[in-house]
Chains A and B, each alone.
Chain A
């Protein structure tokens, strides 16, 4: 019942929300000034720590540096950890993305594991590898992440941020840890010297990371709230022993994902399109025109200039001219919208439990409920020839007719 009340509160009138939101925003602006001041203070502290690292013999905090030895454990690396009870999210400021291009390397997981580029982490099934590049094509940063979220008790997100030199934070939202009295708690800082290199470990609930710069580059290894210090340390030890060869991640070697405007593909969506056989996703789409639908919009996801996903939105009870001119209101005068997406690269975790197209039944589709109260749209998903098809619709009966036509 209390869940129902929280859901019902989600439908509070907009004008009431706007008034409270305005009050919250006015206070936030003042807080932002404090946060910026705190950030500036933190920078001063960081600068002081950096100076102490660069000039260890002259710095007063020299006694904080621990010396690594055989058998050094995660507990040693994270000797100074902070205990906080709460985390607040605060807007930092608008920060422009400092890189010009991005490429993906996630498909190479097995090869990287075989070649010893990355460690094997079977439990964290979702792997992302991407690199960001400067305008001249040189590497700006490399991001690797191993993720697991199917069960909250085993949630894990381990990541590596690396570059030839230190990569600055570009988050537009920062998280501040506080104690039970609301006082800001900074992650505990532990510095270890190992083979002449300073290793900086930050220990807290939100920030659990190890960073260092060696001859190969700069690294920051991080873990989520649910990852142990041991897991972070284990990943650190891997990259300490297996430095990244950044030449493996040049812009030419990565996968380039783009979205196209699709004007050229419009005619291919009907059986009247002379080249429909050439369109890779033709077999996945019903003949919308035969059912009286017109195209509202579409987009084709490309990977290295090859189609990998497709999205089309269609409208009923309209002419194409009316749809193009935007002269319609969905839900009025019989005008309904259906959104159809085909993804040939869906992550296996997203397709678990999703039935195949041939296994769908009318009853199972019609029994689906709207995904949420706001959009009132129902989501229908199925697997067709290895692709994940997702349909959003306000009219499940109509959607079922369309699905049946392609079975």
Chain B
């Protein structure tokens, strides 16, 4: 079934929408959840929560590309679950590893900047990504949006793991400089 037809089912409040979503995107969503969370049962629950979130948000939303929209939902739900679950670090998921890499960009730990408006930061990061070359964008988004492993990124970017690691390091430094230049106090 086409995405537009599935979205139409959501707008008609037809529960077939969830079944069609599951049929088409279950594995895709589980992969994103699995990059954030360690546990498979948690992944399954987050994917189920994603169907519910989709049901609750359509209408009002009418996403053009359903996979991207669902991907955003499952990413956020999985991160929320991870933060709720993790009072103590026990296992290193790709999410944990990628977030620890971000310490290159900012000071670790809580600070007054924790209150920074996410929307302003989002706009700045979007602008930053638009300045990057295509390959750099894929590497950055692959690592920090989808939380893919370095090995996996190297696979789909047809590059070596060493080069991906180097590029990521360079991008973090560039992002730090960019945000400072944009007036963010890191």
Contacts and interface: CB of A to CB of B under 8 A. Distances in A.
Interface in A209-232: 224-226
Interface string B93-116: 000001110110111101101101
A326 interface: yes
Nearest to B119: A11
Nearest to A32: B27
Interface stretch (A15-23, A160-168, A190-198, A234-242): A15-23
B183 interface: no
B162 interface: no
A110 B98 CA distance: 44
A331 B62 CA distance: 12
Q: Which of A14, A17, A86, A394 has the most CB of B within 10 A?
A: A17
A75 interface: no
A68 to B, nearest CB: 30
Contacts of A92: 27
A377 interface: yes
Interface string A298-332: 11000000000000010000000000001011110
Contact of B39 (A14, A224, A299, A339): A224
Contact of B142 (A20, A224, A372, A373): A20
A7 B75 CA distance: 10
Interface residues of B, number: 83
A248 interface: no
Interface stretch (A148-156, A266-274, A355-363): A148-156
Interface in B112-155: 113-114, 116, 118-119, 121-122, 124-126, 129-130, 134, 137-138, 141-142, 144-146, 148-149, 151-152, 155
B34 A89 contact: yes
B59 A6 contact: no
A26 B56 CA distance: 31
A20 B121 contact: no
A12 B129 CA distance: 9
A250 interface: no
Contacts of A404: none
A297 interface: yes
Contacts of B90: 152-153, 226
A268 B141 CA distance: 50
Contacts of A14: 64-65, 68-69
Interface SS of chain A: mixed
A31 B71 CA distance: 20
Contact of B102 (A2, A149, A225): A2
B12 A326 contact: yes
A206 B40 CA distance: 8
B146 to A, nearest CB: 7
B87 to A, nearest CB: 6
B34 A27 contact: no
A374 B73 contact: yes
A13 B126 contact: yes
Nearest to B35: A89
A85 B99 CA distance: 18
B157 interface: yes
A18 B27 CA distance: 17
Contact of B106 (A2, A91, A298, A372): A2
A294 to B, nearest CB: 13
Given A18-B68, A313-B13, A153 B87 contact: yes
A172 B26 contact: yes
Contact of B30 (A28, A89, A329): A89
B180 interface: no
A94 B24 CA distance: 9
A322 B148 CA distance: 44
Interface in B71-89: 71-73, 75-77, 79-80, 83, 85-88
A122 B56 CA distance: 34
A317 B86 CA distance: 43
Contacts of B15: 259, 299
Contacts of B129: 12-13, 16
B126 A11 contact: yes
A385 B113 CA distance: 43
Contacts of A88: 34, 149, 152
B156 A2 contact: no
Given A297-B13, A375-B57, A94 B23 contact: yes
B178 to A, nearest CB: 12
B99 A173 contact: no
Contacts of A28: 156
A24 B27 contact: no
A193 B105 CA distance: 56
Contacts of B59: 296, 328-330, 337
A12 B145 contact: yes
Nearest to B142: A20
A9 B56 CA distance: 23
B121 A4 contact: yes
Interface in B5-50: 11-13, 15, 23, 26-28, 30-31, 34-35, 38-43
Contacts of B142: 20, 24
Given A12-B126, A172-B27, 16 more contacts: A2-B105, A3-B83, A5-B121, A12-B122, A17-B72, A23-B156, A94-B23, A155-B39, A157-B39, A175-B34, A225-B38, A299-B13, A372-B80, A373-B118, A375-B57, A375-B61
Closest 8 CB pairs of A and B: A297-B13, A330-B60, A27-B156, A89-B34, A11-B122, A91-B27, A8-B121, A2-B102
